[in-house]
Amino acid sequence: MQAGPGPRNGLERWFLPRLRDPRDLDLVRAGLSLSAFAWTGALAFLALDLPAWAVLLWVPLVFAGRAGRATLLIHATSHRALFKPGHPILERWLPWAMGPFYGQTPGSFFVHHMGMHHPENNLEADQSSTLAYRRDRLSDFLHYWARFFFVGAPHLLRYLRLRRRDKLARRFLVGEGAWLAALGLLLLLRPVAAVGLLLVPMVLMRFFMMSGNWAQHAFVDTDDPDNAHRNSTCLTDARYNHNCFNDGYHIVHHLKPALHWTEMPAFLHAHLEQFGRQDAVVFSGVANNQVIWWWLMTQRWDRMAAHLVDLPGAPQRDLDAKIRFLQGRVRGSRGARKGLLALEAAPAAR
């Protein structure tokens, strides 16, 4: 996905001089579209007091190409501030006024992603690390998801406390507290709206975030787990990249977290031989990371091998050799497993 055309109306012309980078006008367009959709639905739920069956219609619409886009919009603006200094209300727009309708509690994505995941790079101290797990086993994934969903918050707060990142911890607590207060109020006044607008999207999004992260960090070389070329993946020729701001270029993202989202495809192509020498895992023509996750859970090694790119400088493999290569990359680390067990045995943060 590349940057789109310049401003097309008065509202976009108002936003443009306030942006840090004019290429991010596409992010504003996405944010306006996603916000308008979410706010329209919220108004309908609140003003019309819709029946419970409306949730079954609304939630699929939220997740039909919108919730993932909203999450990756928040992701892109977490790494690179969208607006110039002096616009605090605009900076809070996406995580606070748009994100909750797509399953993102305010500020939680930023704190988890920027405060822990990238600094730790999927290693043992990263509470969302896949390193301790066998990444082709459903039972391991369910444990991974359950840890995040049920005890992820206290684990994250403990991590932030140990790293003395108190400002981020406060940011997380304020966002979670505000979301819980809004949910509680809606449950009293409009319970159907509470379930459809906030609760179900949050539950589903936390599953999709974990399955996506699992796929992005499934093929880890346990002999070199700190190497971004060998602990992440790239998806090329994917519609997902057009919809989600090139999020498929995850190796590139871990190598250059501050790289503008429009520059990621060019970076990969400019460094293909380096990626090949590192034996990086690059898939072509896969729709999104949830497809990779599903293939892992269903042992579809043939599908994954068929989409694995033969990079220049990498060992040339036939289909069977590609399958063996991928299978060798999903084994868990015993050392990381011991570290995970020690973490779970320790008291949670207070």
pLDDT in tens, 50-94: 999 999 999 999 999 999 999 999 999 999 999 999 999 999 999
Average pLDDT score over residue span 321-349 = 76
Q: What is the pLDDT of residue 49?
A: 86
Q: How many CB atoms lie within 10 A of CB 71?
A: 21
* Cα separation, 66 vs 46, whole angstroms: 21
**Structure tokens that stand for 186 in this block:** 């809606």
Please enumerate in sequence order all residues whose Cβ is within 8 A of that of 158, keeping only pairs 6 or more positions apart, or say none.
Answer: 346, 348, 349
Strand, coil or helix: 83: strand
Domain residue extents for the chain: 10-121+140-206
Q: What is the pLDDT of residue 350?
A: 39
Q: How many CB atoms lie within 10 A of CB 177?
A: 12
Composition of the chain by helix, strand, coil, percent to 5: 65, 5, 30
**Structure tokens that stand for 70 in this block:** 């909203």
* Cα separation, 250 vs 289, whole angstroms: 10
Q: pLDDT tens digit string along 16-52?
A: 999 999 999 999 999 999 999 999 999 999 999 899 9
